[in-house]
Amino acid sequence: MRDHQLSILVICLGNICRSPTAEAVLRAKLDAAGLAGQVVVDSAGTGDWHIGHPPDVRSQRHAAQRGYDLSALRARRVAEEDFRQFDLILAMDEDNLADLQRLAPDQGARAELRLFAHVEVPDPYQGGPAAFERVIDLVEAASDVWVENLARRLGTS
Ligand code: 4NP
């Protein structure tokens, strides 16, 4: 994280659908804005069921249709150290946010905890194709807003 000026961790429940999608989309949009070298983007889950797994094949397919490659990502669980290392930890829904507030260490946490989008990004896991499209629609829109916000924080706009 030393070489970067800002670090962002995106969080959902399983780290196989919403947050890996957000990691890839936000990274691509930062890259397009010329900010990739200044911002670290990572993702994790509050749950531990899928640790080490690649993103859900449905998320991979819907993302690939819009030009985002999720295939190299692997799920991990959020750790206490994340609250000390990251500047921003962004949750996909209110349950994720409440879990993060509970998991934050008493000592040394410095991350700002917020929702990723101005609305909750609903869990698509039990849903059909429309649920996965809704995730990527919300994630793309929120990522555009974050790129502007981060550019302001970096003093580049
Ligand atoms: P995500 O979706 O939180 O967007 O990764 C889920 C993936 C798996 C489960 C729940 C949500 N699950 O219960 O296994």
Confidence of residue 147 (pLDDT cuts 50, 70, 90): very high
Cα separation, 28 vs 53, in Å, equals: 22
User: Is the confidence at residue 93, as pLDDT, over 70?
Assistant: yes
Residues forming the active site: 12, 18, 123
Cα 85 to averaged position of ligand 1 atoms, centre (Å): 24
Pocket of ligand 1 (CB under 6 A): 12-18, 49, 123, 125
**Taking the model in full, what pTM does it have?**
0.96
pLDDT of residue 3: 56
**Could you state, in order of their start, the residue ranges of all structural domains in the chain?**
6-154
Just give the CATH number of 6-154: 3.40.50.2300
User: Is the confidence at residue 2, as pLDDT, over 70?
Assistant: no
Confidence of residue 4 (pLDDT cuts 50, 70, 90): confident
